[in-house]
Structure 1
Amino acid sequence: MNLKQLEYFVQVAELGSFSKAAVALDVAQPALSRQVRALETEVRQQLFLRNGRGVALTDAGKRLFDHSVAVLQLVTHAREDLGASRDEPVGRVTIGLPPSIGRQMTLPIIDRFKQELPAAKLAVVEGLSSHIVEWVTTGRVDVGLVYNPEAQPGLEIVPLLQEALGLVSHAARGKRRLTAPLPMQELSHYPLIVPERVHAMRRLLETQAALAGVKLNIAWEVSSVPSIIELVCAGYGHAVLTASGVAASARAGELASRRLVDPTPTSVLCLVTSAHKRPTPLTQRTMQLLTALARKLPA
């Protein structure tokens, strides 16, 4: 097993095709196939199943894929670490952001990155907090911002910002906006539009409601926060969001928010990195930039 075999294997797995991978790698397809067959011989497992559209990973292939991505990421980090000067980190860093944060921070982080780290490359991916945690632990993302992550041995977690949750309603034109706090006990009177249970905000809300003895009135389940806000504005119900979630919406001016109290559920935005990898100089600088920008978000 060698790095070239792992690189070829990962490329075929990601593209789902030997021919597409050969083009991307700029190698002849027979040579690519030989390297993958040699890898299968080495691990004594079939890694791909052929289908009408190309190839798909077997169960063994899926397990090896996660290991391969982590190995290649470590090699890349080692090269970047050794090649970086003290004053100007080089290489490539990938950050993961929740969609509500991504809409507010992508442009500022790229502006700062361009100014302060011109010799480095940045990739930004968006996903639910649970997905970003998985990407960090498998090495696909170097550093992420996530809401309310659960503690686990493979994760370094640094809390950055606490945001109180509020009941978000449509503020009809000409009507008085309600801004007085809303006791949690009254939340059951409002039909709610909430994300699915894999969403960190949904889990937090259900936990806090259960502790307060409140039965939530779930009217609709919608994964996308922008779609939830569209439904709120259309009169289908109410949402429970943070101030940054409201501020990220293009329709923020149509919304009114009432802070939940007695108790006040709080969402915590955290910086997460892998506990098993020493951060490169570039990753450390990126973490500093993300920390500074995240602490400027509306709380």
Structure 2
Amino acid sequence: MNLKQLEYFVRVAELGSFGKAALQLNMSQPALSRQVRLLETDLRTTLLIRNGRGVVLTEIGKRLFDHGLRVLQLVTSVAEDIEAARDEPSGRIVLGLPPSMSRRLTPLLVDTFRSEFPAASVAIVEGLSIHLVEWIAMGRIDLSLVYRPEPNPAIEITPVADEAMGLVSRATRSGAKPKSLPFARLADYPLILPERTHAMRRLIDTQAAMAGVKLNIALEISSVPSILDLVHAGYGHAVLTQTAVAASERPGAFTLSPFKDPLLTSTLCLAVSSHRPVTPLIRQTSKLLREILAHNKLL
């Protein structure tokens, strides 16, 4: 086994396709397939099962994939540490973003990253906060913005900002400015909420239990864009942040009534692994994220 073969295998496993991996690695598909077969021969086992839709990992392949990610990340970390001596962040960073932030943040982040760190590259992964935390713990992403993560010894979090949440409704023709809504009144509205694994749902459920409010849950939908589509279609109301509404394709089609008595806020945090060293590139990207959020008023 050598590092190149390991890298080829990991890329194929990540993308689930020899063709996609060959394009990313800038090599021919037969050459890539040959290198992976050599790795399988060296290890005397089958790592990938090829089918009409691409490839899937065998059980041993899954184990090698996890080990391979850590090995390649360690090699990258060594290279970044050496490059850091030249005072220029370099290497590759995988950044996770929640859906409510991804659409608004990604274009600006990519442009600023390329300008600030020309010797580095960034890959952006979108996912729910609960999944992003898992991926950090597994080493699949390096840094992430997450909402209210639960305590986890595998990650370190730094609060970035608190954002008020409110009742999201379909806008009326009157155009009247929405007023604050007592949290207890939430029981009066049919709600379209994410499933219980979603960070915002856990926050809403906790606050409702503390306030003795029985929620009227009409639908459970994990996708925020789909929730907003259903609100617009008249199926009910949502509980979201202004950022989530602003990220939709038609933010003017909704109103948001912030809660009072008590306020309900969602905390956005930066999360990194507690078991891996924080490289100069991770540290500089964290700083860049905070600056972009603050200067462009994305919260």
Whether TM exceeds 0.5 here: the answer is: yes
The equivalences for 1:168-187 within 5 A come to 168-174=168-174, 176-179=176-179, 181-187=180-186
2:288 counterpart residue number: 289
Whether the aligned pair in 1 keeps the contact of 2:147 and 2:268 (CA below 8 Å) is: yes
Shift of the alpha carbon at 1:160? 0.4
Tell me how far apart the structure 2 counterparts of residues 29 and 225 of structure 1 sit (CA, whole Å): 39
1:33 counterpart residue number: 37
Comparing 156-165 with 61-70, greater Cα deviation is found at: 61-70
Comparing 8-17 with 197-206, greater Cα deviation is found at: 8-17
The equivalences for 1:197-276 within 5 A come to 197-276=196-275
1:88 counterpart residue number: 88
Shift of the alpha carbon at 1:15? 4.5
Comparing 244-253 with 51-60, greater Cα deviation is found at: 51-60
**Paired residue type of 1:111:** D
2:191 counterpart residue number: 192
2:160 counterpart residue number: 160
Structure 2 gap ranges (5+) = none
Match of 1:197, SS state, is: coil
Give the TM-score normalised by structure 1. 0.88
The equivalences for 1:131-170 within 5 A come to 131-170=131-170
Q: Spell out, residue by residue over 1:85-126, the C-alpha distance to the aligned partner (whole angstroms, 9 max, x if none).
A: 543212221211111111221122122212221222122221
Tell me how far apart the structure 1 counterparts of residues 91 and 275 of structure 2 sit (CA, whole Å): 20
Q: Spell out, residue by residue over 1:141-175, the C-alpha distance to the aligned partner (whole angstroms, 9 max, x if none).
A: 11100001112111010000011210111121125
1:118 counterpart residue number: 118
Percent of aligned pairs with the same amino acid: 55
Match of 1:165, SS state, is: strand
Tell me how far apart the structure 1 counterparts of residues 160 and 235 of structure 2 sit (CA, whole Å): 33
Q: Spell out, residue by residue over 1:152-210, the C-alpha distance to the aligned partner (whole angstroms, 9 max, x if none).
A: 1110100000112101111211253431x212211111011112222211121112111
Comparing 143-152 with 45-54, greater Cα deviation is found at: 45-54
2:78 counterpart residue number: 78
Q: CA RMSD in A?
A: 2.4
**Structure 1 residues 169 and 92 mapped into 2: Cα distance closer, same or farther (>3 Å)?**
same
Q: Spell out, residue by residue over 1:22-75, the C-alpha distance to the aligned partner (whole angstroms, 9 max, x if none).
A: 785553644431222322x4xxx6544455555422233223312211221221
Structure 1 gap ranges (5+) = none
Comparing 113-122 with 148-157, greater Cα deviation is found at: 113-122
**Structure 1 residues 200 and 60 mapped into 2: Cα distance closer, same or farther (>3 Å)?**
same
Tell me how far apart the structure 1 counterparts of residues 59 and 127 of structure 2 sit (CA, whole Å): 24
Tell me how far apart the structure 2 counterparts of residues 14 and 133 of structure 1 sit (CA, whole Å): 18
Comparing 100-109 with 52-61, greater Cα deviation is found at: 52-61
Tell me how far apart the structure 2 counterparts of residues 151 and 274 of structure 1 sit (CA, whole Å): 13
**Structure 1 residues 54 and 100 mapped into 2: Cα distance closer, same or farther (>3 Å)?**
closer
**Paired residue type of 1:190:** Y
**Structure 1 residues 13 and 192 mapped into 2: Cα distance closer, same or farther (>3 Å)?**
same
Match of 2:172, SS state, is: coil
Whether the aligned pair in 2 keeps the contact of 1:8 and 1:35 (CA below 8 Å) is: no
Comparing 110-119 with 98-107, greater Cα deviation is found at: 110-119
Comparing 59-68 with 277-286, greater Cα deviation is found at: 59-68
Whether the aligned pair in 1 keeps the contact of 2:190 and 2:236 (CA below 8 Å) is: yes
Whether the aligned pair in 2 keeps the contact of 1:171 and 1:177 (CA below 8 Å) is: no
Tell me how far apart the structure 1 counterparts of residues 54 and 283 of structure 2 sit (CA, whole Å): 40
1:6 counterpart residue number: 6
**Structure 1 residues 84 and 186 mapped into 2: Cα distance closer, same or farther (>3 Å)?**
same
